[in-house]
Structure 1
C-alpha cells in the first residue's frame, strides 16, 4: 500500500520538529535563524570538515559516547556532578551544549567568540573538591583539554561509523585541526592537530582515569534512566547501545558496561545505521527560498549541531 506523499511529509515534519525542539530548546528557531542567517565572516568556511561532522545525525551517538568517556576523569566528573545540573535539567544542559557547538561551527566569528567568552566566564566560577579531597577548577587547561579530546574523538569515531559522508584520512586530520580553533579560544594551549596527536593526548590521560561513584551514577542515568517518554525509549536505547559499542574496551571495563561483539555486529550496529538514517531523513533541512544566501552562511539548518549547542 502506498502512503500519500503529504502524509509522509507531515510525518517527517512532526518528527523533525520534535527532535529539533529536544536538542535546540524553545529558542531553537530564533537561534537557527541567527546562526545561519546573520551576515559576517565565520570561523569555518562551508566546505570544512567540522561542518560536515557537526551537521550529521551521527552526532547523537557521538554526544552520548563523549559523555560516558568524559565521566572517567574524576576531577571533570566531580565538576559536572556538582555544578552542571545534568540530573535536574538534562535537556537544558543538552540545549546549551548544542547551541554552543552550532554557534562556534556555523555562526559569525563575533557570535562564536561571544559564546566562548560566556563559557569561559562560567568555567572561571566552577571550583570545588572531590569526595577524595582533590581540588578542581573547571578553567584548568588540563581538564579542559581532557573534555576536548574525549569529545573530538567521540564525534569523529561516531561520524566515521554512522555518518552519511565519512571523511578520508586527510579529512579526519583536518577535522581535528578545525576543532583546535575552538579549543584554543576556550583556553586550551596545545590541542591536537591531527589523529596522531589526538591518540597521543588521549593515551596520556589514561593513568588519571577511573570510574568514580559519580561516573557510574552518570552512566546509569544516561543509559538506563533517560528523562524520556516511553515511546522514545526504544530509539534512545539504540543510540545508547551504539554509543557504548564505540567506546574503547578499557573504558567499558571501567564503567562496567558489557562487550558483546557478535551481538553488536549482527544487531546493534545495523540498528544504529538505520536509526541515524531515519533521524537524517526526519531532520532534512526545509526548502530554501529561491534567493541564494551569502556563501559563508550556508549550512545544515536542521542538523544536530545546528541551533544547538
Structure 2
C-alpha cells in the first residue's frame, strides 16, 4: 500500500495546516497564556521553569524565542523543522534537577513533553469554544493530528498522547484532576508577571504610558486566565472565584475574536512581533531570524521607522499629559541609559541574574549561552563549545565569589568582591563566541555576521566605515561589558533586555 500526501507527516505542517491559521488569530494570544499556565501547573514543568527559565526577568525574549520556535516547527520546510527539533532536544537535555520537595524533574521526560503539547492543543480548542465558534469534529481531529505530529518530530515514541481524540479527553481530565498542582511558577505567571511585566523594546522609552496600561491590564489578564482554566483544577488549586470573571473572560474572547476581521497585515504574528521588538529609535528589529518573514532591517525607504518615531513622539506627549492629570509618578526608563558606567548592583540584577531569583548560579549563565546559541542558530559542536565555555566561567566565578559556599553567588557577595571578572575563563567565552559568530572564518566579523548576533542594536553599534570587527576588538568589547561596569548599546539589548 503506497502512502499518500495526506498520510505523510509533512502534510500536517505548513501554510495549509490548522495551526498556521491559528498562529495569526488574535485569540491565540489568550490561548497561549492559558496553555502556559497549564504547563506551569505540572510539577516537573513548574520546577524546571523556576530553576532555569528567564520568563520572569526576560518575558519578551522568552515569548519571542517561543514564537520563532513554533513557526519553525510548523512551517513548510522539513529540514528547518528537523533542525529546530534537534535544537529543542539539546536545550531540554540540559534541563534537569529537583524541586523544593526533592522530586526530580527532567525536561526530556516524554510524558512531560506530551503534556506541554496537550496544553497547546486543548487551549486552541477552548479559545474557539469560549469565543462562540467551537470547532467541528473533523477540524478538531485534524488539529490534534498536527500536534501529535509535532510531538513525534521531537522524537518521542508517541505513546504519551492518546491515539484518538476521544481518548485524549479522558487523558486530559485525569491530568487536570489528579496531576496538576498550584505551583510557584503558576502563581508567578498569574499574580506577579503581568503586574510587573517590563515594557517591550518598542515601548521602553515611554514607561509612564506602559506603567499605566499595565496597572489596568495586568489584573484583568490574570482574572481572564483564571476564569478560563478547568473548574476542577481551579477548585483543587484554591484559585479565587471573582464575581463576574466568567462574563469578563467570555467577553474578552469574543472581542478578541472580532479582530480577525481586520486586514491580514495588521494581525500577522510576525508583523506584530517585528513591531514590538523594534528598538526605541525604530531603526531595527529582531524579526530577521530564520523562520520569520521579512528582513526586519529597517532599510532606506521603509516607512515603518518614520511612522514609529511619530507614534512614539505622540505617546511621550500623552505620557506627560497623563502625569499632569493623575497622581501617578513619572516612570523612568533604564537608569542613565546614555551613561557608560553602571553600578555593580545594577549589573548584577540586569545582566548576571538572568532567571530573576536574586542569585547568580549556573542556570543564569546557561540562559546566556542559550540565547547566544539561538541568535547564531548554532548546531553541534559549536553549541556545546559555547556552553562548555560558560560552564568554565561559572566555575571560575563560583570559586572567586561564593563566600558562604552555598553553590550560588548572592548580590551582596558579588558587590563585596572586586567586580573585575575578566579572568581566563571569560576570555575563553569571548574567543568561542567570536569563532561562532565568524561564520566564514576570515578572522573578522562583518556586517551580516554582526547583525546575526546584535540584531536589535545593529543600526548604531558598528564602529568604523568598514563595518568589520577584528578578533581583538570583539574580545575587548565583550570583556569590557561582562566585567560588570561598562554599558554597551550592543550587549545591553542582548543580555539585559526584557
TM-score by length of 1: 0.71
What displacement does 1:259 show?
Answer: 2.9
SS at match of 2:241: coil
Pair 1:242 & 2:224 matched: yes
Q: Aligned partners of 2:110, 2:90: CA distance in 1, in Å? A: 14
What displacement does 1:195 show?
Answer: 3.3
Pair 1:52 & 2:34 matched: no
SS at match of 1:187: coil
Q: Aligned partners of 2:124, 2:193: CA distance in 1, in Å? A: 17
Structure showing greater relative contact order (alpha-carbon pairs closer than 8 Å, 6 or more residues apart): 1
* Native 8 Å contact 1:103 1:115 kept in 2: yes
Higher helix share: 1
Q: CA 1:248–1:87 in structure 2 vs 1: closer, same or farther (change >3 Å)? A: same
* Number of matched pairs: 252
Quote the residue 1:171 is aligned against.
139
Quote the residue 1:271 is aligned against.
252
Quote the residue 1:222 is aligned against.
193
* Native 8 Å contact 2:92 2:107 kept in 1: yes
Aligned match of 1:212 in 183, 198, 201?
Answer: 183
Q: Aligned partners of 1:303, 1:255: CA distance in 2, in Å? A: 34
Pair 1:285 & 2:265 matched: yes
Q: Aligned partners of 1:195, 1:97: CA distance in 2, in Å? A: 26
SS at match of 2:264: coil
Q: CA 1:92–1:45 in structure 2 vs 1: closer, same or farther (change >3 Å)? A: closer
* Native 8 Å contact 1:43 1:104 kept in 2: no
What displacement does 1:78 show?
Answer: 0.3
Q: CA 1:270–1:209 in structure 2 vs 1: closer, same or farther (change >3 Å)? A: closer
Pair 1:203 & 2:166 matched: no
* Native 8 Å contact 1:130 1:136 kept in 2: yes
Q: Aligned partners of 2:234, 2:117: CA distance in 1, in Å? A: 20
* Native 8 Å contact 1:173 1:193 kept in 2: no
Q: Aligned partners of 2:94, 2:182: CA distance in 1, in Å? A: 25
Pair 1:106 & 2:75 matched: yes
Quote the residue 1:120 is aligned against.
89
Kindly report the root-mean-square deviation, in angstroms, between the aligned alpha carbons of the 2 structures.
2.9
Runs of 4+ in 1 over 6 A off after TM superposition: none
SS at match of 2:169: helix
What displacement does 1:123 show?
Answer: 0.6
What displacement does 1:46 show?
Answer: 3.4
Q: Deviations over 1:139-194 (max 9, x none)?
A: 0111111212122211221133338x753121011101111111111233222454
Please tell me whether Structure 1 or Structure 2 has the larger radius of gyration of its CA atoms. Answer: 2
TM-score by length of 2: 0.46
Q: Aligned partners of 1:277, 1:232: CA distance in 2, in Å? A: 22
Unaligned residue ranges in structure 2 (runs of 5+): 1-9, 200-209, 274-290, 294-498
